[in-house]
A and B are shown apart, each in its own frame.
Chain A
Amino acid sequence: MSPLLRVEDVHIRFGGVVAADGVYLDLEPGESLAIIGPNGAGKTTFLNICTGYLKPTAGRVLFEGNDITGQPPRAIVRLGIARAFQIPQLFLEHSVLDNMLIAAAARTRAWNPFRAMVALPERAEMIGLLRQLGVADTAEQRVDGLPEGVRKLVDVALALALKPRLLLLDEPTSGVSSSEKFQIMDALVQALKNQAVTSVFVEHDMEMVSRYAHRVAVWNGGRVQMVGTPADVLADADVRRDVVGI
């Protein structure tokens, strides 16, 4: 099977910092890949390059065989790549549900200026997504009054609302209480499986990684240090020393 996403020899640097130093990675359709690595390793930068937020100085990004390098995020999003952010990116002055409805309108191109947003037929679907992520009770609240943990989940829900084929999650449950983490990830992974969504998630919690990832890529100094099954990667002595910290 040809890869859904192929990243070839991607480079980028910020002043003296090399944030991507010849990154190669292939994603198989339907898989769930975890990215681990120390802070500053270039994990977020990798997602920024894949989604067109940053243009690499060298290298290519292919989605379903098509070169998408340097296209703007909105074009890449329309091809079917959605993203949840490490720092939630939400419409702060709107309610949670209105955030979701804007996403639904964006997906279905519901730009008829005389049709009220509250009447969008995707309303129930959006509330369903919020329920899956356990934040349906905040639907009518304005985002700027919500705690960080809830905002993270709303940010993930916004990405899901686009019905992507590839979902990139940057530390999706950081800031979410550890008692809820697994419950939410269970629901999320189930939802991704049902819709056959391929996913990449950056994660620091090794228990989360071994439970939810099919494969793990270890980032270090702007490079992919190792790729393998969670068991293999977590058994590796270098990884245990550099990343896991034991």
Chain B
Amino acid sequence: MTQLSWLHRTVILALALGVAVMPTLYPWSQVLLTLALAKGLAVLGVVVLLQAGQVSFGHAMFVAIGAYSATFLGRALGGGDLVVVLLGGVLTSVAFGLVIGVFVVRYRYIFFGMLNLAFSMVLFSLLEKFFHITGGSDGLRVLRPTLFGQSLDRATFEGILFYLTLALALGLGWLVHRYLQSPLGQALSAVKSNETRLEYLGVSARHVLLVGYVVSAALCGLGGVIIGLVQGLVTPELGYWVRSGELVFIAILGGASNVTGAFAGALVFEVVRTYAAAFAANIWQMILGGVLLLIVLFAPGGLIALYGNSVKKLFARTRTEP
């Protein structure tokens, strides 16, 4: 057990190191990796809710809320500072998460999923309709923020954003892991298995779920801010329901019960998408669909379970050998 978790930790750090050096070897990979990690943060939000057995088909709305609020803030401040726009985007997402959460945590399963979808569609159409504020479907250009007052050229900014995103992915991944191991996180999976008992322990399932919901909104919002900054443009498409479906897709691809799975899934997804789009422009969705089908049929625990199983087999083998 401790041996395995020690191994897992080493593997995660090795992978992170691999990701960290990639852009120095292949500069073109930097933007791709930043986007993948940012998406991984958003997927992590979806994974938190999956612990409670709840699937949101609208969580891209928080990606859009993070991205747009940071953009508005940046434009109002004439660019603003990276730290300020990041915090602004996340705090706005938290506020929206709290308000929408109070409403949706009263529902479960298909109703929960569809209500989230409904909220995201309302937001999407608001972003499209109020074009004098939001730029409509053309979106808004994102101004490049300074860092602690220093203005940065594009290459430096992208480099900083990449390493910052990697650090956030590691740090927040670890914190979310801690949260899920804590009684509050364990209570999330208790919501899935028996709300009656939870209530009879004196615990409100809605409160437990609301905490998870706000955490997930914050993670999606943060991912959204970073995606906006990388792309230099925010459009309503960020919050489109297809994007929400994509987050769920990646969560299942990576392994819904696992923090590492969110990032592994996002990295694989972005790489497959980029290559498939370049080499098989017309059928890349089919390729991704096929991959998910294989995962669901043969490895329902996702990529992370595939890895976990092979590690277990390896250990079992070394142990049985005299």
Q: Which of A77, A92, A117 has the most CB of B within 10 A?
A: A117
Partner-binding segment picked from B196-204, B232-240, B247-255, B306-314: B196-204
Stretch at the interface among B24-32, B114-122, B184-192: B184-192
Residue of A nearest to B186 (CB): A117
Report if A17 contacts B (CB, 8 A). no
The reply on A61 being an interface residue by CB < 8 A is no
Whether B178 lies near A102 (C-beta < 8 A) is no
Mark the stretch among A26-34, A106-114, A192-200, A221-229 that contacts chain B.
A106-114
| Chain A, Cβ-Cβ closest to B53 | A93
Closest approach, in angstroms, between the C-beta of A97 and any C-beta of chain B? 11
A91 touches B200 (CB 8 A): no
Contacts of A101 in B (CB 8 A): 183, 186
B interface, over-half SS: helix
Task: Decide yes or no whether A74 CB sits under 8 A from chain B.
Answer: yes
| Chain A positions within 8 Å of B151 at CB level | none
Nearest chain B CB to A108's CB is how many angstroms away? Answer: 9
Query: Which of A82, A107, A116 makes the CB contact (< 8 A) with B200?
Result: A82
Q: A78-B202, A158-B201 are in contact. Are A94 and B189 (CB under 8 A)?
A: yes
B194 touches which of A91, A106, A159 (Cβ 8 Å): A91
CB B307 to nearest CB in A, in angstroms, measures: 21
Task: Kindly state the separation between the CA atoms of A72 and B198 in the bound complex, as whole angstroms.
Answer: 12
Cβ distance A154 to chain B, nearest Cβ, rounded Å: 11
Determine which of B178, B190, B197 lies in contact with A116 in the assembled complex, contact meaning CB atoms within 8 Å.
B178
With a cutoff of 8 Å between Cβ atoms, the chain A residues found around residue B231 in the complex are none
Indicate whether A89 sits within 8 Å of B194 (C-beta atoms), given known contacts A73-B200, A83-B200, A114-B175. yes
| CA gap between A117 and B198 in the complex, in Å | 16
- The yes or no answer to B181 lying at the interface (CB within 8 A) is yes
B48 to chain A, nearest CB (A): 11
CB distance from A81 to the nearest CB of B (A): 9
Are B196 and A114 in contact, with the CB atoms below 8 A? Answer: no
| List of B residues within 8 angstroms of A105 by Cβ | 183-184, 186-187
Bound-state Cα–Cα, A107 to B184, Å: 13
Question: Given that A102-B187, A120-B183 are contacting pairs, would A162 and B197 also be in contact in the complex, using a CB cutoff of 8 Å?
Answer: no
Q: Is A90 an interface residue (CB 8 A)?
A: yes
In the complex the two chains form, is A92's CB within 8 Å of B178's CB?
Answer: no
Do A91 and B197 touch across chains, with their CB atoms under 8 A apart? Answer: yes
With both beta carbons as reference points, the residue of chain B lying nearest to A105 in the complex is identified as B183
Please tell me if the beta carbons of B202 and A74 are within 8 angstroms of each other in the complex.
Answer: yes
Residue B284 CB within 8 A of the other chain: no
A82 contact set on B, CB distance < 8 A = 200
Taking CB atoms and an 8 Å cut-off, the chain A residues in 201-245 that contact chain B are none
Are the CB atoms of A114 and B183 closer together than 8 Å? no
B160 → chain A closest CB, angstroms: 28
- Among B178, B189, B201, residue most surrounded by chain A Cβ atoms (within 10 Å): B201
B2: Cβ under 8 A from any A Cβ: no
The residues of B that contact A107 with a CB separation of less than 8 Å are: 201-202
Q: Report how far A107 CA is from B187 CA in the complex, Å.
A: 13
The B131-188 residues at the A interface (CB cut-off 8 A) are 175, 178-179, 181-187
Alpha-carbon separation in the docked complex, A26 to B226 (Å)? 63
Q: Top 9 A-B pairs ranked by shortest CB distance?
A: A105-B183, A106-B201, A77-B202, A89-B197, A113-B179, A78-B202, A91-B193, A91-B190, A117-B183
* Residues in chain B within 8 A of chain A (CB atoms): 175, 178-179, 181-187, 189-190, 192-194, 196-204, 211
Q: Would you mind naming 12 contact pairs between A and B with Cβ atoms under 8 Å apart?
A: A74-B200, A74-B202, A94-B186, A94-B193, A98-B186, A113-B178, A113-B185, A114-B175, A114-B179, A116-B181, A120-B183, A162-B201
**Which A residues form the contact surface with B (CB < 8 A)?**
51, 72-75, 77-78, 82-83, 89-94, 98, 101-103, 105-107, 110-118, 120, 158-159, 162
